Homo-oligomer: A and B are copies of this chain.
Amino acid sequence: MLSHVVAGARERARVAVVAAIKAAARRHLAQEGAAGLSLRAVARELDMVSSAIYRYFASRDELLTALIVDGYSDLATAAERAVARAGTDPREVWRAACRAIRDWARRHPHEYALLYGSPVPGYAAPPDTIDPATRVYAALAAGLRLAGPRPPTPAPVATVARDAEAVAEALGLEVDAGRVVRLLAASTQLFGLVSFELFGHTKGVVSDHDAFFADRVDAMADDLAL
């Protein structure tokens, strides 16, 4: 729609206020967590009356959804940029994607928790969140895509192989099912590492998180034959 390109003053003001609300909500998130996100608190911070928020978001859940979609998009963009900067060496591309995701998570711990932590009770993520979430996995798959076919690994059982082939298809990977399963596992490993670090489960165990993370990213690269 042209109205999005040549916007009138009203439209531009609206976009600005929506952005301000989301920014304030993000700040609020950092203090109270997702479950405690309050429309009234957000309105207060913007010197608005609480009911004014309803001009921009139909409900608290709709604002939450916007934050989640923005979060995935922001994270995906960070990963994609890192991948683009990393050149064409598959292992470097993999490293760049992993590092970008961890760095983003450390910079935005509460948004990370919103995306990959406990689900918000009573809130069901709508389908709008699927696409940006998929972009993150696509960035993680970039190294394998660059590397092309890999030495085959033992095939997983049929049900798993079928899932793996669907994933390969969706991400444009020409890789055997076993390797795709390893990529899925590497993703859960990656988010497991980041979650443990951010949520405090490695307190008193791991002291040099940078080195530990780098070590494991390379181990995963080996496993993926990158």
Closest 5 CB pairs of A and B: A192-B192, A117-B118, A35-B35, A33-B121, A159-B208
Q: A36-B35, A185-B216, A215-B160 are in contact. Are A118 and B121 (CB under 8 A)?
A: no
Q: How many of A's residues come within 8 Å of B, CB to CB?
A: 51
Known contacts A159-B211, A190-B192, A191-B196, then 10 further A-B pairs from the complex at CB < 8 Å, ordered by chain A residue: A33-B118, A116-B199, A116-B201, A117-B199, A162-B207, A184-B205, A189-B192, A191-B201, A192-B192, A192-B193
Residues of A within 8 A of B (CB): 31-36, 113-114, 116-122, 125, 130, 133, 156-157, 159-160, 162-163, 166-167, 181-182, 184-185, 188-193, 195-196, 199-201, 204-208, 211-212, 215-216, 219
Main secondary structure of the interface of A (DSSP, over half): helix
A185 touches B219 (CB 8 A): yes
CB of B119 within 8 A of CB of A200, answer yes
Known contacts A118-B199, A119-B113, A156-B215; A188/B185 CB under 8 A: no
Q: Which residues of B contact A196 (CB under 8 A)?
A: 188, 191
Chain B residues contacting A206 (CB-CB under 8 Å) are 160, 163, 184
Residues of B within 8 A of A212 (CB): 156, 160, 163, 181, 184
Q: Which residues of B contact A119 (CB under 8 A)?
A: 113, 199-200
Measured between beta carbons, the chain B residues less than 8 angstroms from A182 are 219
Residue in B closest to A212 when the chains form the complex, CB atoms? B160
Show 27 A/B contacts (Cβ-Cβ < 8 Å), sorted by A.
A32-B122, A33-B121, A35-B35, A113-B118, A114-B118, A116-B199, A117-B118, A130-B204, A156-B212, A157-B211, A160-B208, A160-B211, A160-B212, A162-B207, A163-B206, A163-B207, A166-B205, A182-B219, A184-B205, A184-B206, A185-B216, A189-B189, A189-B192, A190-B192, A191-B192, A191-B201, A192-B192
